[in-house]
Protein backbone atom coordinates (compact mmCIF):
# COMPACT_ATOMS: atom_id res chain seq x y z
CA UNK A 1 0.00 0.00 0.00
CA UNK A 2 1.28 3.42 -0.92
CA UNK A 3 1.08 6.08 1.81
CA UNK A 4 2.33 9.63 1.36
CA UNK A 5 3.35 11.78 4.33
CA UNK A 6 1.44 14.75 2.90
CA UNK A 7 -1.91 12.94 2.95
CA UNK A 8 -4.73 13.54 5.44
CA UNK A 9 -6.15 10.07 6.04
CA UNK A 10 -9.50 8.77 7.30
CA UNK A 11 -9.88 5.09 8.19
CA UNK A 12 -13.30 3.40 8.05
CA UNK A 13 -14.48 0.29 9.89
CA UNK A 14 -11.25 -0.29 11.80
CA UNK A 15 -12.12 -3.36 13.92
CA UNK A 16 -9.76 -2.88 16.88
CA UNK A 17 -7.89 0.28 15.71
CA UNK A 18 -4.67 -1.72 15.16
CA UNK A 19 -4.57 -0.66 11.49
CA UNK A 20 -4.89 3.05 12.34
CA UNK A 21 -2.22 2.67 15.04
CA UNK A 22 0.12 0.94 12.57
CA UNK A 23 -0.53 3.66 9.95
CA UNK A 24 1.14 6.20 12.21
CA UNK A 25 4.52 4.70 11.41
CA UNK A 26 4.11 6.28 7.95
CA UNK A 27 3.62 9.73 9.55
CA UNK A 28 0.61 10.94 7.55
CA UNK A 29 -0.14 14.69 7.67
CA UNK A 30 -3.19 13.79 9.77
CA UNK A 31 -5.16 10.71 10.74
CA UNK A 32 -8.76 10.26 11.88
CA UNK A 33 -9.88 6.75 12.80
CA UNK A 34 -13.45 5.41 12.84
CA UNK A 35 -14.97 2.23 14.26
CA UNK A 36 -18.41 0.81 13.46
CA UNK A 37 -18.91 -0.52 17.00
CA UNK A 38 -19.26 1.51 20.20
CA UNK A 39 -16.16 1.79 22.42
CA UNK A 40 -17.72 -0.66 24.88
CA UNK A 41 -18.51 -3.22 22.16
CA UNK A 42 -15.06 -2.91 20.58
CA UNK A 43 -13.33 -3.25 23.96
CA UNK A 44 -15.45 -6.32 24.74
CA UNK A 45 -14.46 -7.97 21.46
CA UNK A 46 -10.80 -7.03 21.16
CA UNK A 47 -9.70 -4.94 24.18
CA UNK A 48 -8.82 -1.24 24.05
CA UNK A 49 -5.01 -1.27 23.79
CA UNK A 50 -4.85 0.43 20.37
CA UNK A 51 -7.52 2.93 21.41
CA UNK A 52 -5.41 3.94 24.41
CA UNK A 53 -2.29 4.20 22.25
CA UNK A 54 -4.04 6.40 19.66
CA UNK A 55 -5.46 8.61 22.42
CA UNK A 56 -1.93 9.20 23.73
CA UNK A 57 -1.02 10.44 20.23
CA UNK A 58 -4.11 12.74 20.18
CA UNK A 59 -5.60 10.95 17.16
CA UNK A 60 -9.32 11.73 16.73
CA UNK A 61 -11.40 8.53 16.97
CA UNK A 62 -15.11 8.25 16.17
CA UNK A 63 -17.12 5.25 17.38
CA UNK A 64 -20.47 4.01 16.05
CA UNK A 65 -19.46 5.41 12.68
CA UNK A 66 -21.53 3.81 9.94
CA UNK A 67 -20.20 4.75 6.50
CA UNK A 68 -23.71 4.27 5.08
CA UNK A 69 -25.47 6.50 7.61
CA UNK A 70 -24.82 10.29 7.54
CA UNK A 71 -26.31 10.82 11.01
CA UNK A 72 -23.32 8.93 12.44
CA UNK A 73 -20.77 11.26 10.80
CA UNK A 74 -21.31 14.12 13.24
CA UNK A 75 -17.98 15.35 14.56
CA UNK A 76 -16.23 14.85 11.25
CA UNK A 77 -15.19 17.92 9.28
CA UNK A 78 -16.71 17.67 5.79
CA UNK A 79 -14.45 17.30 2.73
CA UNK A 80 -11.17 17.40 4.63
CA UNK A 81 -9.29 14.23 3.64
CA UNK A 82 -6.97 13.16 0.82
CA UNK A 83 -7.40 9.43 1.30
CA UNK A 84 -10.11 7.25 2.84
CA UNK A 85 -9.20 3.63 3.59
CA UNK A 86 -11.49 0.65 4.31
CA UNK A 87 -9.49 -2.47 5.21
CA UNK A 88 -11.12 -5.86 4.60
CA UNK A 89 -14.71 -4.57 4.59
CA UNK A 90 -17.51 -7.00 5.37
CA UNK A 91 -21.10 -6.62 6.49
CA UNK A 92 -21.45 -6.58 10.27
CA UNK A 93 -22.44 -9.92 11.77
CA UNK A 94 -26.17 -10.57 12.02
CA UNK A 95 -27.41 -10.60 15.60
CA UNK A 96 -29.58 -13.66 15.10
CA UNK A 97 -30.53 -16.24 12.51
CA UNK A 98 -33.92 -14.57 12.09
CA UNK A 99 -32.24 -11.21 11.36
CA UNK A 100 -30.06 -12.97 8.79
CA UNK A 101 -33.09 -14.68 7.23
CA UNK A 102 -35.03 -11.44 7.09
CA UNK A 103 -32.18 -9.68 5.31
CA UNK A 104 -31.07 -12.50 3.05
CA UNK A 105 -34.66 -13.22 1.97
CA UNK A 106 -34.88 -9.71 0.53
CA UNK A 107 -31.39 -9.33 -0.88
CA UNK A 108 -28.46 -11.58 -1.62
CA UNK A 109 -25.54 -11.24 0.84
CA UNK A 110 -23.24 -10.61 -2.13
CA UNK A 111 -25.43 -7.67 -3.19
CA UNK A 112 -25.47 -6.30 0.37
CA UNK A 113 -21.66 -6.39 0.57
CA UNK A 114 -21.39 -4.64 -2.80
CA UNK A 115 -23.86 -2.01 -1.54
CA UNK A 116 -21.64 -1.41 1.50
CA UNK A 117 -18.59 -0.87 -0.73
CA UNK A 118 -20.46 1.30 -3.23
CA UNK A 119 -21.86 3.45 -0.41
CA UNK A 120 -18.33 3.71 0.97
CA UNK A 121 -17.03 5.05 -2.37
CA UNK A 122 -19.92 7.42 -3.05
CA UNK A 123 -20.08 8.82 0.49
CA UNK A 124 -16.29 9.17 0.71
CA UNK A 125 -16.07 11.19 -2.49
CA UNK A 126 -19.15 13.26 -1.64
CA UNK A 127 -18.57 14.01 2.05
CA UNK A 128 -15.13 12.99 3.33
CA UNK A 129 -12.70 13.77 0.53
CA UNK A 130 -11.38 17.26 -0.18
CA UNK A 131 -12.14 17.99 -3.85
CA UNK A 132 -8.97 20.09 -3.95
CA UNK A 133 -6.79 17.35 -2.52
CA UNK A 134 -5.54 13.95 -3.68
CA UNK A 135 -9.07 12.44 -3.97
CA UNK A 136 -8.24 8.80 -3.26
CA UNK A 137 -10.15 5.83 -1.84
CA UNK A 138 -8.50 2.50 -0.98
CA UNK A 139 -10.29 -0.78 -0.32
CA UNK A 140 -8.14 -3.73 0.72
CA UNK A 141 -9.76 -7.13 0.24
CA UNK A 142 -8.82 -10.72 -0.42
CA UNK A 143 -8.67 -12.10 -3.93
CA UNK A 144 -10.40 -15.32 -2.85
CA UNK A 145 -14.04 -16.43 -2.62
CA UNK A 146 -16.44 -14.95 -1.53
CA UNK A 147 -14.71 -11.53 -1.75
CA UNK A 148 -13.58 -11.94 -5.37
CA UNK A 149 -17.26 -12.49 -6.25
CA UNK A 150 -17.90 -8.82 -5.43
CA UNK A 151 -16.34 -7.91 -8.80
CA UNK A 152 -14.61 -5.04 -7.02
CA UNK A 153 -12.71 -3.65 -10.00
CA UNK A 154 -15.77 -3.25 -12.22
CA UNK A 155 -19.07 -3.33 -10.36
CA UNK A 156 -18.90 -0.87 -7.48
CA UNK A 157 -18.50 2.47 -9.28
CA UNK A 158 -20.85 1.70 -12.21
CA UNK A 159 -22.88 4.75 -13.34
CA UNK A 160 -20.86 7.20 -11.25
CA UNK A 161 -18.03 9.53 -12.19
CA UNK A 162 -15.66 7.69 -9.86
CA UNK A 163 -12.71 6.14 -11.71
CA UNK A 164 -11.11 2.82 -10.87
CA UNK A 165 -7.35 3.39 -11.14
CA UNK A 166 -5.84 -0.02 -10.40
CA UNK A 167 -4.50 -2.15 -7.57
CA UNK A 168 -1.40 -2.92 -5.53
CA UNK A 169 -0.52 -5.93 -3.40
CA UNK A 170 -1.19 -5.46 0.30
CA UNK A 171 1.94 -6.15 2.34
CA UNK A 172 1.05 -6.42 6.02
CA UNK A 173 4.73 -6.05 6.96
CA UNK A 174 4.32 -2.33 6.18
CA UNK A 175 1.96 -2.14 9.18
CA UNK A 176 3.63 -3.63 12.27
CA UNK A 177 1.13 -4.63 14.94
CA UNK A 178 -1.88 -4.63 12.57
CA UNK A 179 -4.22 -7.54 13.20
CA UNK A 180 -6.84 -8.17 10.53
CA UNK A 181 -10.00 -8.77 12.53
CA UNK A 182 -12.97 -11.00 11.97
CA UNK A 183 -16.22 -9.10 12.25
CA UNK A 184 -17.04 -10.27 15.75
CA UNK A 185 -14.42 -12.59 17.13
CA UNK A 186 -11.30 -12.03 19.15
CA UNK A 187 -9.29 -13.72 16.40
CA UNK A 188 -7.24 -12.26 13.66
CA UNK A 189 -7.06 -13.66 10.17
CA UNK A 190 -4.31 -14.03 7.60
CA UNK A 191 -3.85 -11.39 4.91
CA UNK A 192 -3.87 -14.18 2.28
CA UNK A 193 -3.79 -12.60 -1.16
CA UNK A 194 -4.63 -9.13 0.16
CA UNK A 195 -4.99 -6.56 -2.61
CA UNK A 196 -5.52 -2.81 -2.24
CA UNK A 197 -7.85 -1.38 -4.90
CA UNK A 198 -7.72 2.34 -5.71
CA UNK A 199 -10.37 4.83 -6.94
CA UNK A 200 -10.30 8.56 -7.58
CA UNK A 201 -12.50 11.28 -9.02
CA UNK A 202 -9.40 12.20 -11.01
CA UNK A 203 -8.98 10.15 -14.19
CA UNK A 204 -5.26 10.86 -14.38
CA UNK A 205 -3.59 10.59 -11.02
CA UNK A 206 0.16 10.33 -10.44
CA UNK A 207 -0.45 7.17 -8.35
CA UNK A 208 -1.46 5.26 -11.52
CA UNK A 209 2.18 4.61 -12.45
CA UNK A 210 2.56 2.53 -9.29
CA UNK A 211 -0.62 0.46 -9.76
CA UNK A 212 -1.48 -2.71 -11.64
CA UNK A 213 -4.19 -1.95 -14.19
CA UNK A 214 -7.58 -3.70 -14.03
CA UNK A 215 -7.14 -7.36 -14.93
CA UNK A 216 -9.17 -9.87 -16.91
CA UNK A 217 -10.41 -7.32 -19.45
CA UNK A 218 -10.85 -8.15 -23.14
CA UNK A 219 -12.38 -10.80 -25.35
CA UNK A 220 -10.19 -13.64 -24.11
CA UNK A 221 -11.30 -13.22 -20.52
CA UNK A 222 -14.39 -13.52 -18.37
CA UNK A 223 -14.11 -10.23 -16.48
CA UNK A 224 -16.70 -10.97 -13.78
CA UNK A 225 -15.24 -14.41 -12.97
CA UNK A 226 -11.66 -13.10 -13.22
CA UNK A 227 -10.92 -16.04 -15.51
CA UNK A 228 -8.80 -16.44 -18.63
CA UNK A 229 -7.05 -15.90 -20.91
CA UNK A 230 -8.96 -18.51 -22.91
CA UNK A 231 -6.75 -19.83 -25.65
CA UNK A 232 -9.50 -21.37 -27.79
CA UNK A 233 -13.19 -20.82 -28.46
CA UNK A 234 -13.85 -24.18 -26.80
CA UNK A 235 -12.02 -23.05 -23.65
CA UNK A 236 -14.25 -20.01 -23.43
CA UNK A 237 -17.44 -21.99 -24.13
CA UNK A 238 -16.59 -24.52 -21.44
CA UNK A 239 -16.07 -21.73 -18.94
CA UNK A 240 -19.43 -20.19 -19.87
CA UNK A 241 -21.14 -23.51 -19.23
CA UNK A 242 -19.53 -23.99 -15.80
CA UNK A 243 -21.51 -23.71 -12.55
CA UNK A 244 -19.00 -21.13 -11.31
CA UNK A 245 -19.73 -18.86 -14.27
CA UNK A 246 -23.49 -19.30 -14.03
CA UNK A 247 -23.44 -18.45 -10.33
CA UNK A 248 -21.37 -15.35 -11.04
CA UNK A 249 -23.70 -14.23 -13.83
CA UNK A 250 -26.62 -14.53 -11.41
CA UNK A 251 -24.76 -12.36 -8.86
CA UNK A 252 -24.11 -9.79 -11.59
CA UNK A 253 -27.78 -9.84 -12.60
CA UNK A 254 -28.89 -9.28 -9.00
CA UNK A 255 -26.41 -6.42 -8.60
CA UNK A 256 -27.52 -4.67 -11.79
CA UNK A 257 -31.15 -5.04 -10.73
CA UNK A 258 -30.31 -3.52 -7.34
CA UNK A 259 -28.54 -0.58 -9.01
CA UNK A 260 -31.56 -0.02 -11.21
CA UNK A 261 -33.78 0.12 -8.14
CA UNK A 262 -31.53 2.37 -6.08
CA UNK A 263 -31.22 6.15 -6.26
CA UNK A 264 -27.57 6.25 -5.16
CA UNK A 265 -26.14 7.28 -8.51
CA UNK A 266 -28.57 10.18 -8.66
CA UNK A 267 -27.49 11.26 -5.19
CA UNK A 268 -23.86 11.49 -6.29
CA UNK A 269 -24.51 13.36 -9.52
CA UNK A 270 -26.76 15.89 -7.76
CA UNK A 271 -24.22 16.40 -5.03
CA UNK A 272 -21.65 17.53 -7.60
CA UNK A 273 -23.77 20.13 -9.31
C1 LIG B 1 -13.62 -8.22 8.46
S2 LIG B 1 -13.81 -6.85 9.52
C3 LIG B 1 -12.27 -5.99 9.27
C4 LIG B 1 -11.98 -5.04 10.39
C5 LIG B 1 -10.78 -4.13 10.19
N6 LIG B 1 -11.01 -3.19 9.11
C7 LIG B 1 -9.53 -4.92 9.95
O8 LIG B 1 -8.94 -4.81 8.88
O9 LIG B 1 -9.13 -5.65 10.88
C10 LIG B 1 -14.98 -5.83 8.67
C11 LIG B 1 -15.25 -4.51 9.36
O12 LIG B 1 -16.15 -3.73 8.58
C13 LIG B 1 -16.91 -2.97 9.50
N14 LIG B 1 -18.14 -2.46 8.87
C15 LIG B 1 -19.16 -3.20 8.37
N16 LIG B 1 -20.16 -2.39 7.94
C17 LIG B 1 -19.76 -1.13 8.18
C18 LIG B 1 -20.36 0.15 7.98
N19 LIG B 1 -21.58 0.27 7.45
N20 LIG B 1 -19.66 1.25 8.33
C21 LIG B 1 -18.43 1.14 8.87
N22 LIG B 1 -17.81 -0.05 9.10
C23 LIG B 1 -18.48 -1.17 8.77
C24 LIG B 1 -17.21 -3.96 10.60
O25 LIG B 1 -17.57 -3.33 11.79
C26 LIG B 1 -15.87 -4.68 10.73
O27 LIG B 1 -15.06 -4.08 11.71
Q: Is the model more confident about 21 or about 107?
A: 21
**Cα separations (Å) of 34 from 62, 135, 202?**
5, 19, 25
Q: Give yes or no for a contact between 132 and 96, defined as CB atoms under 8 angstroms apart.
A: no
Sign of the CA dihedral 65, 153, 181, 177?
negative
Interval 9-64: pLDDT, tens: 999 999 999 999 999 999 999 999 999 999 999 999 999 999 999 999 999 999 99
pLDDT of residue 214: 92
Ligand 1, residues 13, 109, 184: which to mutate, most atoms within 8 A of Cβ? 13
Instruction: Average the pLDDT over 60-85 and give the result.
Output: 96
How sure is the predictor about 268, in pLDDT bands with cuts at 50, 70 and 90? very low
Domain 8-215 has CATH 3.40.50.150: yes
- In whole angstroms, give the CA distance from residue 158 to residue 225: 17
Cβ neighbours of 3 (radius 10 Å): 16
Residue whose CA lies nearest to ligand 1 atom number 25: 36
pLDDT of residue 95: 66
pLDDT of residue 223: 95
Cβ neighbours of 209 (radius 10 Å): 7
Task: Please check the confidence at residue 121 and state whether its pLDDT lies above 90.
Answer: yes
| Residue of 47, 59, 48, 63 lying closest to 13 (CA atoms) | 63
Interval 152-161: pLDDT, tens: 999 999 999 9
Task: Please check the confidence at residue 213 and state whether its pLDDT lies above 70.
Answer: yes
Instruction: Average the pLDDT over 182-204 and give the result.
Output: 78
Q: 117 C-alpha to center of ligand 1: Å?
A: 11
Instruction: Average the pLDDT over 104-112 and give the result.
Output: 84
Q: Per-residue b/e over 68-99, b at no fewer than 16 CB within 10 Å?
A: eeeebbeebeeeebbbbbbbbbbeeebeeeee
Residues with C-beta less than 6 Å from any ligand 1 atom: 12-15, 19, 36, 66-68, 87-92, 116, 180-183
Q: 135 C-alpha to center of ligand 1: Å?
A: 22
**Cα separations (Å) of 247 from 43, 156, 217, 240, 244?**
39, 18, 19, 10, 5
Task: Please check the confidence at residue 85 and state whether its pLDDT lies above 50.
Answer: yes
Q: 17 C-alpha to center of ligand 1: Å?
A: 11
Helix (H/G/I), strand (E/B), else coil: 62: strand
Helix (H/G/I), strand (E/B), else coil: 59: coil
**Cα separations (Å) of 91 from 100, 103, 183, 218, 237?**
11, 12, 8, 31, 34
Q: 161 C-alpha to center of ligand 1: Å?
A: 25
pLDDT of residue 266: 43
Ligand 1, residues 15, 109, 187: which to mutate, most atoms within 8 A of Cβ? 15
- In whole angstroms, give the CA distance from residue 242 to residue 239: 5
Q: 7 C-alpha to center of ligand 1: Å?
A: 22
Residue whose CA lies nearest to ligand 1 atom number 2: 183
The secondary structure of residue 68, as a DSSP letter, is: T
Q: 67 C-alpha to center of ligand 1: Å?
A: 10
Provide the edge-to-edge strand list for the sheet that holds 163-169: 61-62, 30-34, 8-12, 83-87, 136-142, 194-200, 163-169
Residue whose CA lies nearest to ligand 1 atom number 4: 15
pLDDT-above-90 percentage for the chain? 81
- Ligand 1 atom index nearest CA of 119: 19
Task: Please check the confidence at residue 264 and state whether its pLDDT lies above 60.
Answer: no
Name the residue ranges covered by the structural domains of the chain: 8-215
Mean of all residue pLDDT scores within the chain: 91
Helix (H/G/I), strand (E/B), else coil: 87: strand
Task: Please check the confidence at residue 167 and state whether its pLDDT lies above 80.
Answer: yes
Amino acid sequence: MMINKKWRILTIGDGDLSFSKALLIHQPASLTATVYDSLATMSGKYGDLFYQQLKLENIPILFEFDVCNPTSWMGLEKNSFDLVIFQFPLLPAFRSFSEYKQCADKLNINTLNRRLLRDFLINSFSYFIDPNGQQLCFITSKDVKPYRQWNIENALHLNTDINYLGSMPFDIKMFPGYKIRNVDRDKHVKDTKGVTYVWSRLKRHSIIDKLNPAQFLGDNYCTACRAGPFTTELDSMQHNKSIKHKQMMELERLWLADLDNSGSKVALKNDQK
